[in-house]
Structure 1
C-alpha cells in the first residue's frame, strides 16, 4: 500500500510540473508548450524531481508532523530542482532560449500546485481522522508528568491520526497517571491488551534511568507487528529539543549540541547560496548606486570590514557599506552607534535606517561565512563581554550567523546599551535554534522585507 502511495505521489508531482509549465506558457505565450525545447526543459526538471525529492523527505509519512515544515521541504526541494535544471541548460548552452518571465511563472505555478496538492490531501486525511478513520492506536508506557504530557498532546492533535488507547504506569509507587484512557500497572495484563486490541504503536515515554523497562518492552514486542518508539524524558538535561544522530554507526541523542541535523544544515546552506546569488543579481544596480553615494559623501573606503565570530566560533570578516566617518577606536573597545551619533554620515544614516548597509553581507553568505537567517553576529569585543554575563550566549555560535533573524523581526535590533536588551535578543536566538524549520526561515525573510527593514532602533 505504501509503495502504491509513493508511486501515486510521484505521478502527481510530475503531472503538476507539466501542468504548471503549460499554464505558464499559456500566460506568457498564449499557447501550451508547443516548442519542443520547452517540453524537453520541463521533462528534465521532472526527472530531477524524481531523483531529488526523496532525499528531502518529500515522500515520507508526515503523520503527526508539521504541515508547515512539509510545505517548506517541498519548496526547498522544488527550488533546488529548478536550479539544477538551469545549470543543465547553461551547460548545454541553451539558457538564452529560456524566457525568464515564463520560468518565473512556471516555478511559482508548479511550486504552488505541489504544495497545495499535499495540503489538500492532508486536510482530507485530517477530516477522515477526526471522523475516526485512518487512525493509529497508541499506548504509552511512562511515568509522571512526561507520560501525561505525551497523552495530552495526542488528545490535542486529533488530525495527526494517533489515538491514545491505554497507558502503562512504569512506576506506580511514584504516583498515578491522570488520563482518560485505561491505565495498567500489571505487565501481563497490559501486553495482552495491546495484542488483543491490535494496537499499532507502543511509545516508551521513560527517563534514561528506566533501561530495564525499556529493554523489557522492546523484547516483548520484538516479534509483533507493533511500532515501538522511544520518547525519552530528557527535559532536565537537554538544552534544545533533543534530536538523534548517527555516530560511528551508533545512535546518539543530542543533549547539548547543534539542534540542526547535518541534512538540515546542508539544505539551509544550499538555500542560502541560491538565495544570496539571486539577491545579488537583483540588487546589483542598487549596490552600485549606494557604493557611489558612500564614496562621494565622505572620505574613506566604500566597505566597512570587521572581524566577527561565525559557526563554531570561527572568525570571519563581515562586510557592510560604510556609514560612519573615519575615526580612531581605542584598542579592544568598540563603541556602538547611538541615536544622533555624530560619526554617522547623512548617507550612512539613511542606509542604517533602511538596513541597506547590510546588503554586502550577501557576499558573506556566498562565501559560506553567514546564513540568510540566523543569530546576528556581534563584534568580538562584545562577544567576550556578553558570553560571561548572559546565560546561553555561547550557543548562538552553533549555527552560522544571519543577515536577519528571529530577534530582529521581533524588535531586538540596534544598540544593546543594557544587559536586558542582550538577554532578550539571546532568548529569541535560542528560541530560533530550538524551533528551526524552513518554514520559520521563510516567515522571518517575509517579515524582514515587510516590517524589518525600517525600525525605530535602527540608527
Structure 2
C-alpha cells in the first residue's frame, strides 16, 4: 500500500537562523501542526467575521431594524474590518496554559473595528439610519459571542477525548526543523501524538541537542523499525538538496500504512507572506508574496482612501500655507515631481513640496544632508517636519501610493542599492508609503552608509511579513507623535 504523503511546515519558536527565520511569521502564515492551525486560521479569516455579521442581523430582529441595503452595507464593512483587525486566534496560542493571554489584543482590534465603522458612518451619514441602542448592543454582544465561541472550540474541538488513540511518530532528520517539530509534539499532548525519536545517518557526536535515547538509528533501519513498533506518523525533515535520499525513503516505505509528511527546509529562505496555494488544482508553496492579495487588498485600499480623504479634509489649509511659502521664498514650481518605483517596480511620479533649489530626477541623485546648501529658505523646516510629504496623499488617492508602506527611494538609489543589499527589491512588491515601519523605528532621512540602508530594508521586509491593518494604524499614530522630534530628517 502506498503511504500518504503530505506537507507540514513547522513553526519553531526557538529555532534561530542567520536572520532568526522570523518564527512569528511561520507561526501565523504556515499554521502550526501543534496548534490546530487550520481551525485557528479559519476562525481568523472567515468564521469570526461571519459571526460578527450574524449577531448584527440577529439583533436587528428584536430592535425592529429593517434588513435593507443600509444594514447590508454596514454588515459588509464589519465583515471586511473584522477579517483584518480581529486577532481571532487569541484562544489558540500553542503551548500556553493561559488561553486568554491575547484577549487584550482582541479587544483592541474590536475597538478599532468600531472606530473605523463610526468614522465611515460619520463621513457618509450611514450612522443616521440606525437606532443608537441597536448599534451599542451589537458592539457589546458581538465580541462576547466570539469569546464564548472560541472557548467552546478550545474545550470541545482543540483537545481530543481521553479515549482517542495516540499515534506514534518519528522524525527523519534531527536538524533544526525536525527538533522544532519534536518540541511542538511534546508540548502539545492534545495532538494525540507520541514522539518516539529521530532517524539520522549522522552520529550522535554530530547532532547537537540530541540524546542517545532519542536517536533510534540510521535511515536504512527505518522500514524495519516502523513495522516492529507500529509507527503511524513519519515526518521527513531533510534538506531540499537531499532529493535522492527522500525518494529512496519513499520507496522503502511503500509497504507501510504509516502517514508520511514532508517538512520543506524553508530555513534556507527569507519568507515573505509565505503560504500554501493551488494553481489549477496543483498545490504550490508561496515563499515570497505581497500581503495585499484577495480581501486584504480591498481592505488596504479602502483604508487608504478613507484616511487620505479625512486627512486632506483636515490639512488643506496647512497645505495651502506651505504652497504659498514655497512659492514666495524661492523661484521655481511649488511641487517637485520625482520618478520612483511603485508596486512591482512600476515607475510612478511622486509629489512633494519643493524643498531644494535643484530638481534632480536623473541617473544620479544626491540625498539631502545636514546643512545642505541646496535647501531653500524653508526647505530644512518642511523636510524636518515632513510637511514636504503632504502632497503624497494625492498620490494615495490616485492609487499609486499607500499611507503606510516602504518609503520610496529615488530610482537612481534603487538601481545602486539593489546591487549591494540582498532582498532590496522585495520591498517593491507593494505600493510605497508616505510613512513606514522603518521610519517610526528611527531610520528616516539620509542613509549615508550601507548599514543604515540595510537596517531600513530589514524593517521594510518585516512590515511585509507581518502586515495587518492594526499595524498600519500603529505606524500612523507613531508617525504623528514622532515627526516633530525626529532629528534624522533634513
TM-score after normalising by structure 1: 0.69
* Aligned residue in 2 for 1:17: 56
User: How much does 1:144 deviate?
Assistant: 2.5
Partner of residue 325 from structure 2, selected from 277, 293, 297: 297
* Aligned residue in 1 for 2:306: 278
Q: Would you say the 8 A contact 1:310–1:397 is kept in 2?
A: yes
Q: Is 401-410 or 243-252 further displaced after alignment?
A: 243-252
CA distance in 1: counterparts of 2:252 and 2:89, whole angstroms: 30
* Aligned residue in 1 for 2:194: 165
CA distance in 1: counterparts of 2:376 and 2:269, whole angstroms: 49
Q: Would you say the 8 A contact 2:273–2:464 is kept in 1?
A: no
CA distance in 1: counterparts of 2:166 and 2:430, whole angstroms: 36
Query: Matched residue pairs, number?
Result: 422
User: How much does 1:431 deviate?
Assistant: 3.1
* Aligned residue in 1 for 2:173: 143
Partner of residue 336 from structure 1, selected from 349, 367, 385: 367
Q: Is 434-443 or 378-387 further displaced after alignment?
A: 434-443
Structure 1's 314 and 218: CA in aligned 2 closer, same or farther, altered over 3 A? farther
Secondary structure of 1:235's match? helix
User: How much does 1:204 deviate?
Assistant: 3.5
* Aligned residue in 1 for 2:391: 360
User: How much does 1:409 deviate?
Assistant: 1.9
CA distance in 1: counterparts of 2:254 and 2:473, whole angstroms: 40
Partner of residue 411 from structure 2, selected from 364, 380, 386: 380
Q: Would you say the 8 A contact 2:357–2:375 is kept in 1?
A: no
Structure 1's 391 and 11: CA in aligned 2 closer, same or farther, altered over 3 A? closer
Structure 1 residues not aligned, in runs of 5+: 23-31
Structure 1's 252 and 440: CA in aligned 2 closer, same or farther, altered over 3 A? same
Q: Would you say the 8 A contact 1:243–1:253 is kept in 2?
A: yes
CA distance in 2: counterparts of 1:75 and 1:132, whole angstroms: 36
Matches within 5 A, 1:152-301: 152-155=183-186, 158=188, 161-162=190-191, 165-173=194-202, 175=204, 178=210, 184-185=216-217, 186-190=222-226, 193=229, 203-208=235-240, 209=243, 210-214=246-250, 220-221=256-257, 229-236=261-268, 240=272, 243-254=275-286, 257-258=288-289, 260=290, 264-299=292-327, 300-301=332-333
Q: Would you say the 8 A contact 2:354–2:388 is kept in 1?
A: yes
CA distance in 1: counterparts of 2:377 and 2:247, whole angstroms: 66
* Aligned residue in 1 for 2:430: 399
Q: Would you say the 8 A contact 1:311–1:401 is kept in 2?
A: yes
1:145-180, Cα deviation, whole Å (9 max, x unpaired): 23113223555x65x954762145343345467269
CA distance in 2: counterparts of 1:48 and 1:436, whole angstroms: 20
Secondary structure of 2:293's match? helix
Secondary structure of 1:166's match? strand
Kindly report the root-mean-square deviation, in angstroms, between the aligned alpha carbons of the 2 structures.
5.4
CA distance in 2: counterparts of 1:391 and 1:235, whole angstroms: 16
Q: Would you say the 8 A contact 1:293–1:347 is kept in 2?
A: no
TM-score after normalising by structure 2: 0.65
1:176-222, Cα deviation, whole Å (9 max, x unpaired): 67269855444344366566xxx7x6543333322343576688447
Structure 1's 41 and 141: CA in aligned 2 closer, same or farther, altered over 3 A? same
User: How much does 1:412 deviate?
Assistant: 0.8
* Greater relative contact order (Cα < 8 A, sep 6+): 2
CA distance in 1: counterparts of 2:445 and 2:47, whole angstroms: 51
Secondary structure of 1:265's match? coil
* Aligned residue in 2 for 1:27: none
Partner of residue 390 from structure 1, selected from 409, 413, 421: 421
